[in-house]
Amino acid sequence: MKFPALRIYAIIYLVFLFAPILLLPVFAFNEGKIIAFPLTGFSTRWFEALWTRPALHSAVQSSLLIAVLTSIFATVFGIFAARGGALADYPFKGSMIGFIMLPLVLPEIILAVALLVLVTKVLGLAPNLYTIVLAHTLMCTPYATSILNGAFANLDQSFEEAAMDLGESRWSAFRLVTLPLVMPGIVSAMLIAFIISLDEFIVAFFLSGNVTTLPVYIYGLRRQSDQLPIIMALGTILVALSIVLLIAAEYLRRRGLRRAGLEDSGGFL
Amino acid sequence: MPGAGGRMAAGGFITDDGRRALRSLLPPFVYAVFLMAIPLATVVVVSFQIRGAGAGEWLDGALPGPVATALRVMVLLYAVTLPLAFGLIARRGGAGRIFRFLLVAAPLWVAALWLSWSYLATLGFGFGNYVSVFTDPINIRGAVRGGSWIPGLLPRSLFVSVSVTAATVILAYPIAYFISFRVAPENKSLWIFLITIPFWTSYLIRIFLWKVILGYSGVVNTALTGLGIIDEPLTFILYNVNAVIITLAHAYAPFAILPIYVALEKIDRSLKEASRDLGEDRLTTFLRVTLPLSVPGIVAAVLIVFIPTIGDYVTPELVGGSGGLLIANRIQSLFLQVNDPGLGSALSIVTMAAVGIVSLLFIFALRRWLRRA
């Protein structure tokens, strides 16, 4: 052990990173109304309370619909972008890819303002569920692209060419050869886009109009301290769901890399 | 024709394979143009409308008829010209470069100018919004209130973002270093995965939890008083700028760790050995070999943390208290509560410009420092 100090620091840092999500179930299952130590006893009543809220149920429904549509669209765009990125170079290709990836670093408030202007002023629409899908697709495409880049990057072009030499059309070569090879990456990208969309608040709040998404609903409870335990219960379910989806996505991403015969070079992003 | 790829197409400046790549990149690119470039351009136009115009009726969609039509026509024009122009670029041979460039650019400029003109002609053109941004004490100038200096929101937001960035990157560097140089190769992706997990879990819930952790009767305070380290609960950790910095440093941790990790992974391990063989000790090896070689990762980490943090209005609102509100909160309320899109747009543009200038200054200063070193 050359640098035990570094290892100790890493463990403290992990505690800092995980403190919030480890405390979450603790308070969600706590009997008391006040979120503080000492705990007052085990109870599932905050979870039961979740079933009695119709507003929450409709928020969950719209969020799920938005997240499913977003994950499909963002992944399709991601496939186009990653495939284009893996093919040959041409002038301005780098700047085009940079532009597609730009939402990753654009301050969300700017994006939210710009999209609100587009929707209300330019398109003359009232913000609704589908405008959120449009916005989330824009925001999730870079993530989907970067995951799929891994799947497409070192995929041997000669596979498709061999299939075409054997009489397949370009599309059927793509469908029969490339697509199965990158399929784990596709599913992984869809899961990540789904998680981001389900969780996104800043832009959704601007564009929600009459629709309440799940984060908007949670935000609406911020001033009611008696609702805090219910938020903790809801959060526990969300975090558990995210972690399950993440593990699935990570498993598929690795399987995809192995299938393409690549070395694992780290996680998402 | 698979074999044709790589050869220059007749009369074109793009190969067959390049053309396929372009065709594949077009859909996401056009989508980004539609939902990012056009909206941002519209924000610029709106920021130049006369002071107070369009306020109050902003979300009702009650725009003057010709303006609304002009805006829709613009979108239609973009919709037709963009794919057409790119299609022409992708086509074999054909018109010369300048002609192609005109095809791409001219309709856009005409549409943009015509639209901006008709929009502003109806609502009135003016610099009033920008004047207001620069003269109203709340935005930039700041004011003396009750004997103490209260800075404007933009300088304060920049300060908070710089602090968050510094804290995040400095805390993250040892972790990236640890994973890259100390963790066994087969465990590296597990560590990276562990570090990204908190980032993927509900953002609002995490902020709520920081409130619980840092609060007056929160986890930190009850733990510290319980252990007898402090007598009175600490009050400087919630509802002020410190809480905003802690919460954001937590939220952006993976964004800082990953680019630095990638840069460290690229360093040739034999360089370190060479440095040690030449008599440098561990610290000077780090300072003269590892650190300079990881600068690209540090730059990426700084930018990817600094630029987005300025756009967060939820963290300041929930954990920042009354004194912790930042520029994004002001923009949000100008659009959603005050109904002043003109001023909100101008403030967004100025904020973006300020963020851009600070980032460029950082890169410039770093470059000079590297050249000297």
**Tens of pLDDT along B94-121?**
555 555 565 556 556 666 666 667 667 6
Chain A residues near residue B262 by CB distance under 8 angstroms: 266
Chain A residues near residue B175 by CB distance under 8 angstroms: 9-10, 13
End-to-end CA distance of chain A: 30
The amino acid present at A183, given as its one-letter code, is: M
pLDDT of residue A71: 95
Contact flag A266-B58 (C-beta cutoff 8 Å): no
Compute the distance between CA of residue A221 and CA of residue A7 in angstroms, rounded to an integer: 40
Compute the distance between CA of residue A227 and CA of residue A99 in angstroms, rounded to an integer: 42
* Average of per-residue pLDDT across B240-267: 87
Per-residue pLDDT tens digits for A60-89? 899 999 999 999 999 999 999 998 888 877
Q: How far is B78 from chain A (nearest CA, A)?
A: 12
Least confident residue range of A238-242, B63-67, B201-205, B305-309: B63-67
pLDDT of residue B85: 63
DSSP string of B125-170?
A: B-SHHHHHHHHSIIIII-EEETTEEE--HHHHHHHHHHHHHHHHHH
Contact flag B18-A90 (C-beta cutoff 8 Å): yes
Q: Is A8 on the interface with B (CB under 8 A)?
A: no
Compute the distance between CA of residue A3 and CA of residue A5 in angstroms, rounded to an integer: 5
Chain B residues near residue A116 by CB distance under 8 angstroms: 335
pLDDT of residue B51: 77
Q: How far is A226 from chain B (nearest CA, A)?
A: 13
Chain A residues near residue B194 by CB distance under 8 angstroms: 14
pLDDT of residue B4: 39
Whether residue A37 has pLDDT greater than 50: yes
Compute the distance between CA of residue B316 and CA of residue B159 in angstroms, rounded to an integer: 13
CB interface of A with B, residues 125-144, below 8 Å: 125-126, 134-135, 137-138, 141
Under 8 Å CB-to-CB from A146, ≥6 apart: which residues? A101, A268, A269
pLDDT of residue A268: 45
Written as six digits, the tokens of B328 are 């994004």
Q: How far is B82 from chain A (nearest CA, A)?
A: 14
Model confidence at B74, pLDDT cuts 50, 70, 90, reads low
What percentage of chain B reaches a pLDDT higher than 90? Answer: 10
pLDDT of residue B358: 92
Under 8 Å CB-to-CB from A82, ≥6 apart: which residues? A145, A148, A149, A151, A152, A153
ipTM of the complex: 0.85
According to the CATH classification, is domain B155-372 in 3.90.1260.10?
A: no
Written as six digits, the tokens of B237 are 């950790």
Per-residue pLDDT tens digits for B142-152? 777 777 777 88
A88: Cα within 13 Å, side-chain hemisphere: 14
pLDDT of residue A163: 83
- Where are chain B's structural domains? 2-126, 155-372
Written as six digits, the tokens of B13 are 């400046």
Contact flag B35-A116 (C-beta cutoff 8 Å): no
pLDDT of residue B237: 73
Written as six digits, the tokens of B209 are 């939890």
Q: Which domains does chain A have, with CATH numbers?
A: 51-259 (1.10.3720.10)
Model confidence at B302, pLDDT cuts 50, 70, 90, reads very high
pLDDT of residue A129: 87
pLDDT of residue A266: 47
Given B179, B201, B328, which is nearest A109 (Cβ)?
A: B328
pLDDT of residue A240: 87
Whether residue B133 has pLDDT greater than 50: yes
Q: Is A124 on the interface with B (CB under 8 A)?
A: yes
Per-residue pLDDT tens digits for B9-47? 444 556 777 778 888 888 898 888 888 887 888 888 888
Closest residue on chain B to A200 (Cα):
B203
Highest mean pLDDT among A33-42, A131-140, B281-290: A131-140
pTM score of the predicted model: 0.83
* Average of per-residue pLDDT across A95-105: 86
Model confidence at A172, pLDDT cuts 50, 70, 90, reads confident
Q: Is A55 on the interface with B (CB under 8 A)?
A: no
Compute the distance between CA of residue B347 and CA of residue B354 in angstroms, rounded to an integer: 10
CB interface of A with B, residues 218-257, below 8 Å: 218-219, 222, 228, 231-232, 234-235, 238-239, 242-243, 246, 250, 254
Given A102, A114, A122, which is nearest B71 (Cβ)?
A: A122
What percentage of chain B reaches a pLDDT higher than 70? Answer: 76
Question: How many residues does this entry show for chain A?
Answer: 269
pLDDT of residue B78: 61
With beta carbons less than 8 A apart as the criterion, state whether B133 and B126 touch. no
Q: B148 - beta bridge partners?
A: B145
